[in-house]
């Protein structure tokens, strides 16, 4: 014979559903998950491109554009991850 769920079991199920929605990143009804992962990726790629361009520009002045572009890309990777760390981990979006 089946028995109906008591009030405490129903409220526990509702609490679990709220937790699941919170984990997936949905804040309010009608809003989808946030795009912080996409924004972080774009930030890293932009920093790499910025570093590469800056390095290539300096390399053209010196006469070694390829070497400086590679060094600028490496610096861009470091700068990109640092910016993502500051923006999304140390100071999370509100």
Who has greater pLDDT, 16 or 44? 44
C-alpha span between 71 and 57 (Å, rounded)? 12
Name the pLDDT band for 54 (thresholds 50, 70, 90).
Answer: very high
In the block, which residue shows the tokens 């390095």? 55
Residue 63 is given by DSSP the state T
Closest CA to 18 of 4, 28, 8: 28
What is residue 50's three-state secondary structure?
helix
Task: Please measure the distance between the N-terminal and C-terminal CA atoms of the chain and give it in whole angstroms.
Answer: 49
pLDDT tens, residue by residue, 19-37: 655 555 545 555 556 677 8
Q: What is the pLDDT of residues 58-69, one digit of tens each?
A: 999 999 999 999
* Predicted confidence band of residue 8 (pLDDT cuts 50, 70, 90): low
Average pLDDT, the chain: 79
């Amino acid at each position: 014979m089946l028995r109906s769920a008591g009030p405490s079991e129903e409220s526990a199920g509702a609490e679990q559903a709220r937790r699941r929605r919170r984990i997936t990143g949905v804040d309010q009804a009608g809003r989808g998950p946030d795009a912080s992962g996409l924004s972080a990726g774009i930030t890293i790629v932009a920093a790499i491109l910025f570093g590469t361009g800056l390095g290539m520009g300096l390399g053209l002045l010196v006469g070694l554009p390829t070497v400086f572009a590679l060094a600028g890309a490496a610096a861009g990777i470091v700068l990109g991850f640092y910016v993502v760390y500051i923006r999304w981990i140390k100071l999370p979006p509100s």
